[in-house]
Amino acid sequence: GKDLEVRLQVEQPRRITPSANVLARIEGARAPKEVVIVGCHFDAWTFGSGDPQAGTIVLYEIARSLAAAAKAGKRPARTVIFANWGAEEYGIIGSTEWVEAHRAMLSANAVAYINLDMAAMGPNFRSAAAPALKQVIEDASRDVPQARAPETTVHARWTSAGTKPAGFGNLGGGSDHVSFYCHLGVPSCSLGAGGSRGVSYHTAYETLAWYRKIVGDDYEPALMLARVGAALVSRLANAPLLPYDLARPFTDMQEHLADLEGDQAGGKSLLGSLRARCGVTAKAAAELQTRLERHVAAGRLTGPALAQANRLLLASERAWLRKEGLQERPWYRSLYAAPDPFSGYASWMLPYLKHAFETGRVQDRVAAISPYVVALDAHEVLLAGLRTLCAGADDASVSK
């Protein structure tokens, strides 16, 4: 009743506590310096059957299957690192410390980071991803049977049998991809699946009995995700030419620019010229990717030239970084994506511009365009380098 009073005392002792990351690796056979990282944290608020162990079981199954293939003589071309991160719930500490400790290696050689936090929570596949990885994720999903409906594929269910585009989310904050993607510019993605009958997120009821009753005791969603994840890792680790989508960052950027301005198309809008330039760059990138793939398939782009092409592709993703970082947040260096500064979870796309638009001052908005022009200039230089490699392959073809 109205006269009831409750006195609540919360005790949260603050102390320094050891944590750990658990890592394993399969050394690459042909390009061991280049690395693909797959990770999920293992610490939980309580029992953690959903967050994060529904992802940890997928991580372990991917690691088991790829290790078995390696033992059978099918070692990946690039190195694959499997990471079970500690202290994620306390501020994404384990993965961040590891990324900062290996900053130079990762900046130079990390192909992609795949996150599996709280992954297998139902049969309906979902993914949030950097634009460069969206196509290869789609490709991986085409080869995997749908959980609890093996007569169809993950991709068919995801796209309603091809009647709608594959729905990708944007990476924000709140999990272990943040330091890879938002600090170092390593293209990242999360893989997951939802659609179970309920959640018990961060509660004392997040037990194995709850998981088996609500998500299911068949573990079909976890198997489905392990298959998609293994297929994705295999493509990233074995493709002679890194399977990035060269054009997608620029086509997606056009959409993000439109969102910032409320879709004010045309030269009169503040961001109109930037949007137009993205369109031109996207077209050039798509044409160049077709040429690159054709030359690799024909065996005309090999050896040092192919290695140089991959170095340029890695650099293209890092070209979105701003050394000075974002306004008021210098650790976040990606101009493309960052967590929102309020909740830390939602995604801010084109965050340097987004911050300027949120302040409401026109002069700040105009000034915030400049770093994106610089980034696009850097991409043009890298595309020119790839174009030169293609020209050399063209000459080789003619001489033959």
Residue 34 known to be catalytic:
no
The DSSP 8-state label assigned to residue 80 in this structure reads E
How far apart (Å, rounded) are the C-alpha atoms in residues 229 and 348? 26
List the catalytic residue out of 5, 27, 34, 88.
88
Instruction: With H, G, I as helix, E, B as strand and everything else as coil, classify residue 369.
Output: helix
Instruction: With H, G, I as helix, E, B as strand and everything else as coil, classify residue 187.
Output: coil
Identify which of 85, 80, 116 has the alpha carbon closest to the alpha carbon of residue 98.
Answer: 85
What φ, ψ does residue 280 adopt, rounded to 5°?
-65, -45
How far apart (Å, rounded) are the C-alpha atoms in residues 70 and 126? 28
Between vectors from CA 309 to CA 295 and to CA 305, what angle results, nearest 5°? 70
The answer, yes or no, to whether the previous bond of 52 is cis (omega within 30 of 0) is yes
Instruction: With H, G, I as helix, E, B as strand and everything else as coil, classify residue 310.
Output: helix
In the chain the beta strands, taken as DSSP E runs, fall at 22-26, 31-41, 78-85, 110-115, 124-129, 145-146, 149-153, 168-169, 188-194, 337-339, 347-349
Between vectors from CA 77 to CA 76 and to CA 81, what angle results, nearest 5°? 60
Token pair 């198997």: residue = 223
What φ, ψ does residue 264 adopt, rounded to 5°?
-85, 90
Token pair 């409906």: residue = 149
Residues tagged active-site? 88
